[in-house]
Amino acid sequence: MVRKKEWEDFMAVGRVPTGLNHDILASWQRSAKHSVAGRTRAPVVNDDELEGRRVQARRLGRAARSALNRAGNLLIGTRDILLLSDDAGVVIDTVGDPHTLSQAEENHLHTGGHWIEEAIGTNAIGTALHLGAPTLIQDAEHFCEAIQRWNCAATPITDPGTGRILGVVDISWPGGIQQPNAVALSSALALQMETELTHMLGHEREILLEQSHIRRLRRGSGPMLIMDRSGANVFSTENFARFYDDDIDLEQLRKRLPALIDQPAEQIGEVLADCLKSTDFEVISDRDEPIGILIALKRSRLRAQTNRSTATELEQIASAGEASAALCAQARRLAETGISILIEGETGTGKSFLARAIHNASKQSDEPFEMLDCAQLTEETLRNCFASDHQCIGKGTLCLNSPGAVPASIQKLLLTLVEQFMEQGGRIIALSARSLYEEMRGNNFRGDLYYRIAGARLEITPLRERAGEIAPLLRQLVQSHAAETGRRELRFSPGAVGVLKNYAWPGNLLEMRNLVAALDALSPTGLIDERILPREFRQPARRNGSDTLRDVERAGILDALEAEDGNLSRVAKRLGIARSTLYLKLDSYGIETRRKT
C-alpha cells in the first residue's frame, strides 16, 4: 500500500514509490496531465443530465436492481456503501450504510457524481473503466488528496451480447479500514448483474422471434432480417443473404447498433435511414423500449433482382419430365385464378418451391408472398394479428405451411385470419405432407377451414415414383448448387446415375440437395462414381414394401464388388457366374468399375 509520504514525493518531484502497482502508476501519470490534483470533490452533473443518463442506462439499472436491494439491506451498519455508475463514470444509484452515505456527500460520492479519471484522478470507478478490469484503490493511492479518506473496490459490468462495458459496481468505505474481500464482493455483484442481463437478452430474443411472425404477415415475405440489440441475427428469411449484398453497410450497422439501441426509436430510425439504402426498416420495441430492428428490401429493388432470372420457376420444374410437366400445366392454369390451392406431397418434394412459382406466375407476383409456419403458431400470435396496432391483413399470397399441425383449439382463429386475408383480395396456398382430407374425416381438422384452403388440390408425387426425372433433377440441383456457391459443377458417371435412379429417395429433393452439397465438399475431383456414393445409396431401399429381383441382384453385385475390391474374376467366382455374364450384368445395371483381372 502507498504511504502518504510516498504520494507527496511523487506529487512534488515525480519520485515513483518502490513497488508501486504498475496500473496505479499509469493512472497517476494520466491524472497528472488533467490538472486535477487540487480537487476536493468530483464534478456533479445537473438533474436533467442525471435523468437522461439513467434513461440511457435503464437496462443496466433494471439488471442491477435486485442485487442493489439485497446488498443495500446487508450493508446497513457496516460502514460500506455500494455505487452503480454508467459507462461514463456517472453514479446513477447508491445504497448502503446511511451514515457513510452522508459522509460521502462531502466528496460527491453520490448520485450524479462524475468519477472518471479526467475529472477526479485515480479512483476505483474511473480506473476500472479505463482498465476494463476489477480495481482496488486504497488511501494514498487516490490521486487527489481529499479523496484519500476513502477506500474503493470496483468491477466493470459488461454486456453479455457484445462485451461492451455498460457501467461499474463500486464498494466504498472510510480509509484506514482493511477489507481484503472487497474486490471479490464487487466482482460477485457484477457477475450477478451480468447474469440478469443475459436473462433479459434471452427474453428479448424470444419476443423478437414471436414478433417475427406478425411482422412478416404485415410486411410480406420479401427478404427480411431481424437483429437483437447486440447486432446478432435473431431471424432471417432464406433469401435475405441472396438479395441483400451491401455487406459493408450491414456490418457497420451491427457495430453501431449496441450503442444506438438505447436511444429513442425516432433517433434510431434517423441513423438507420443513413446507414441502409434501398431498404425498409422498423424498430421493434417491448413496452416502448427498443429491443431490436427489422430490415427488409424495398419491393422495387427485390423486383429488379428477381427479374434477372432467365426462366420462370414453373418452366424450371416442368423441364424435369412428364410428371412434372403435367403438374406445372395444372399449376399454371390455377395461377391465373384467385382460387385457394392445397399442395400435398411428402417431405422434401418441393411444395414450397411450387407455391412460390405459382405466386410468381400470377397477377399478384408484385405483391408479398408470406410463408407462415403453422407449427409455430400460438393463440397469442394469432390474436396479435387482429390487434389494432398489428394489421396483418393485405393483398398478396399467404402460404400456410403444415396447417394440419395447428391445435384444434386455435383452428378457428386461423380460419378467421384466412377469411379476412381472402376478403382483402389475398390468396391462400397451403402445404401439407399428410392428407388434410383424411385429417378432416378423422375430426382432427375443421371442415370449414379445410374447404377454405383447399379450393383446388395439387399433389406432388414422391421422387421414387418419378425415376425418369431423377437424372434431370440431379442436373438442375448440381447447376443450382454451383451457381449459389461459386464452385465447380459435379460430374456423375453413368454408373453413379444408375445407382441414383434405383434409389428410393425417402427424403425426395431435399435429400438430393443434401447429397449434392455433401459430395461437393468431400470429392477432391468433382467426378462422382458409384463407389463414392454413401453406402445407403448403393444398397437400394425397399420400394412399396418389397425389393424387386433386379434390386436384390444389383445389390448382390455391388456387395461382391466391394468385398473383392473390384476384382472381376473373383467377383464372378463369388457370384457363381461367368465373367462374360458379369460384364453383361454390369452394363445392364449401369455399374461402372475398374475391371481388375
- Helix, strand, coil % in the chain, rounded to nearest 5: 50, 15, 30
Secondary element (H or E) of residue 79:
none
Q: Map residue 28 onto helix, strand or coil.
A: helix
pLDDT tens string, the chain, 597 residues long: the values are: 899 999 999 999 999 999 899 999 999 999 999 989 999 999 999 999 999 999 989 999 999 999 999 988 899 999 999 999 999 999 999 999 999 999 999 999 999 999 999 999 999 999 999 999 999 999 999 999 999 999 999 999 999 988 999 999 999 999 988 888 999 999 999 999 999 999 999 999 999 988 777 766 555 556 788 999 998 888 887 667 666 656 677 788 888 888 888 888 778 877 777 776 667 788 888 888 899 998 887 654 444 444 444 347 888 898 898 899 999 999 999 999 999 999 999 988 999 999 999 999 998 888 888 888 888 888 888 887 765 444 454 588 999 999 998 999 999 999 999 999 999 889 999 999 989 999 999 999 999 999 999 999 999 999 989 988 999 999 999 988 888 888 889 999 888 998 999 898 988 998 999 999 999 988 888 899 888 898 888 775 444 444 555 666 776 787 777 677 778 888 888 777 877 778 767 766 667 665 455
Residue 505 CA to residue 494 CA, distance in Å, equals: 18
Asked if residue 295 lies in contact with residue 281, where contact means CB atoms within 8 angstroms, the answer is yes
Cβ-defined contacts of 420-424 (< 8 Å, 24+): 420/386, 420/393, 421/393, 421/394, 422/340, 422/452, 424/393, 424/394, 424/395
- List beta partners, residue 233: 227
Residue 491 CA to residue 278 CA, distance in Å, equals: 40
Torsion, CA 283, CA 287, CA 289, CA 291, rounded to 10: -60
Amino acid in the structure at residue 394:
G
195-222 exposure pattern, b = at least 16 Cβ within 10 A, e = fewer: ebbeebbeebbebbeebbbbbbbbbbbb
The three three-digit cell numbers of residue 326, written as one number? 403435367
Amino acid in the structure at residue 154:
A
In angstroms, what CA-CA distances link 481 with 175, 234, 311, 463, 520? 70, 26, 17, 19, 9
The three three-digit cell numbers of residue 368, written as one number? 408479398
475 Cβ neighbours under 8 A, 6+ residues apart? none
Residue 118 CA to residue 288 CA, distance in Å, equals: 35
Residue 378 CA to residue 394 CA, distance in Å, equals: 21
Residue 423 CA to residue 181 CA, distance in Å, equals: 69
Comparing C-alpha atoms, which of 37, 54, 2 is closest to residue 119?
37
**pLDDT score at 552:** 64
Comparing C-alpha atoms, which of 270, 492, 291 is closest to residue 281?
270
Q: DSSP class of residue 262? A: T
Residue 197 CA to residue 148 CA, distance in Å, equals: 34
For 264-317, give the DSSP string.
Answer: -HHHHHHHHHHH-SSEEEEEEEETTEEEEEEEEE-HHHHHHHHTT-SS-HHHHH
In angstroms, what CA-CA distances link 60 with 56, 72, 112, 289, 359? 9, 17, 16, 13, 47
**pLDDT score at 6:** 94
**pLDDT score at 359:** 92
In angstroms, what CA-CA distances link 41 with 55, 156, 344, 433? 25, 22, 76, 72
CA 524 to chain centre: 32
pTM, to two decimals: 0.55
